[in-house]
Amino acid sequence: DAKTTQPPSMDCAEGRAANLPCNHSTISGNEYVYWYRQIHSQGPQYIIHGLKNNETNEMASLIITEDRKSSTLILPHATLRDTAVYYCIVRPGGSNYKLTFGKGTLLTVNP
């Protein structure tokens, strides 16, 4: 699986947009970009995923660069409850949905 690189920590003011970057320069054509988050000691929570097009759902937006070597997760209006570790994971296409977690980004939303 392609390796991802994320900043270890970021801060964001409550109500502002949080933009979390991820580098996956070795991604191959059939690999998807997934984002999960883990609020302290809870189970990881699925946020969004994409292949090459930008995606949006009720939680977030995912922007993938044209060369697919990096992506950005956007939380449009961060709240205190969005404080969590955010994981960017590259997963091959196919029926095996196994995730390999790397080092994520601890996002702290401040009042």
- Binding to another protein (CB under 8 A) within 63-102 occurs at 87, 95-102
Nearer to another protein, 81 or 98 (CB): 98
Under a CB-based contact definition with an 8 Å cutoff, are residues 18 and 80 in contact? no
In angstroms, the Cα distances linking 64 to 20, 33, 41, 111 are 12, 9, 29, 29
Nearer to another protein, 77 or 103 (CB): 103
What's the angle, vertex CA 110, arms to CA 6 and CA 59, rounded to 5? Answer: 60
104 binds another protein per the rule CB under 8 A: yes
To the nearest whole angstrom, how small is the minimum distance from the Cβ of residue 97 to another protein?
A: 5
Query: Residues touching another protein: how many (CB under 8 A)?
Result: 20
15 binds another protein per the rule CB under 8 A: no
